[in-house]
Amino acid sequence: MEFELWWLLGIPVFFALGWLAARVDIRQLISESRTLPRGYYKGLNFLLNDQQDKAVDAFIEIMQLDPESADMHFALGSLFRRRGETERAIRVHQNLLARPDLPQLQQEQAQYELGMDYLKAGLLDRAEETFNTMLQGQYGVQARRALLEIFQREKEWPRAIEAAIGLQEAGAGSRQKQIAQFYCELAQDALVHLHPEQALELLEKSLQADRVNVRATMLTGDAQLVQGDVEGALMTWRRVEQISVPHVALVAQRLMDGYRKVGRPQEGVNLLKSYLEQASSIDLIEVVYKAVLELDGMDAAKQLISNELRRTPTLLGLDKLLEARLMDAPPNLVSELSMVKNLVHSYTQKLARYQCSHCGFKARQFYWQCPGCSRWETYPPRRTEELNVMN
């Protein structure tokens, strides 16, 4: 009982000590804030209002008054880089590194910022050299990320694989999907140079990294086709449906061509029609329409387009229907139908694009890596109008 009472009596003392510590901290903070130059607050205010030119002028003024202020150098260098003035950013960070009294942590920060300046300026060799010296320091993970970006820009895929594995081992999260795409890049290059055996080895590594990689599956079928194994290629391409039904539109033409080569085009049409029932797509419709027109005639092709347009009404589908109608239109209607077709077609060209789900970059062709933000697998395998209809 006496022990508990002793602790109860001590509680007010602890509160008093905490109050005193807080007062000391607040006074110290106020004292330090008064020592900051007025230009610091001006520059900060300009930054918050997105007035970068004025912020730069304010920070330059501070640096002239206090050349030893490392924080101001970092802020100014970052502003220069954001504005695209990489030469000035490089000079700021080089000046910082030249200071013998700069603490170790700030030296590493300055070195990292200098590497980012080189990267922004496109001086990839200098950037790579800078980041390679930082792999074991406080900025090791950031340096590895930057190196990975450099290797991707230079399309040095083996080194990109090593960098991605290094990031994983450093605890920076999984990079398996990226690694799988890097192997796909190497495999595609091997196929271009007609080395299907080498391509298949690389694609196996890609699928080990990411078992549900659509691109690796498609390229595996391509390699089997180059080897002359058409039936094997058909079986591989059909696996795309098991991975992602919407992506069958990307492999539809390969399947149709393959079934023609083995003398079973009707089987190919029936297969693609079944895909169409699961995931309607203008790219898939295009392939099926041409195949039906070739095998079953005009009436069947027009009926196919009409059915799909009722199921998924889009201007892209209407454009295809008008194209079909024009093929056997009466002479007195050809002129009017052609005018309507041309108007619809000119508008659909803006809609017949793929769009990156991360940065919004639009492209006429499908990309595995976005040309805008350089991210992998951010393009849905559908045109923009189809996505809007689905939403």
Residue-wise burial string across 25-58, b where 16 or more C-beta atoms lie within 10 A, e elsewhere: eeeeeeeeeeeebebbebbeebbeeeeeeebbeb
Q: Model confidence over 251-285: pLDDT tens digits?
A: 999 999 999 999 999 999 999 999 988 888 888 98
Q: Which two tokens stand for residue 139?
A: 């900025």
Residue with tokens 């090791």: 140
Average pLDDT over residues 65-94: 76
Above 80 in pLDDT, residue 316?
A: no
- Residues 249, 283: contact at Cβ < 8 Å? yes
Percent of the chain at pLDDT > 90 equals 48
The mean pLDDT of 153-175, rounded to a whole number, is 93
The backbone torsions φ and ψ at residue 66, rounded to the nearest 5 degrees and listed phi first, read -135, 80
For residue range 95-109, list pLDDT tens digits in order.
888 888 788 888 899
What pLDDT digit, counting tens, does each position of 220-235 carry? 999 999 999 999 999 9
The pTM of the whole model exceeds 0.75: yes
Q: Which two tokens stand for residue 311?
A: 């199921």
Distance (Å, rounded) from C-alpha 288 to C-alpha 75?
58
pLDDT score, position 320: 72
Residue 244 gets the label, from left (phi > 0), alpha (psi -120 to 50) or beta, of beta
Whole-number pLDDT of residue 36? 47
Q: Is the pLDDT of residue 206 over 80?
A: yes
Annotated binding site: 356, 359, 370, 373
Q: What is the dihedral of CA 195, 261, 213, 316, to 10 degrees?
A: 130
Q: Which residues are annotated as a binding site for Fe cation?
A: 356, 359, 370, 373
pLDDT tens track for 330-346: 777 667 667 777 776 66
Nearest to 63 by CA among 52, 54, 75, 51: 75
Per residue in 281-315, pLDDT (tens digit) is: 888 988 998 999 899 888 888 888 888 888 877 77
Quote the pLDDT of residue 84: 84
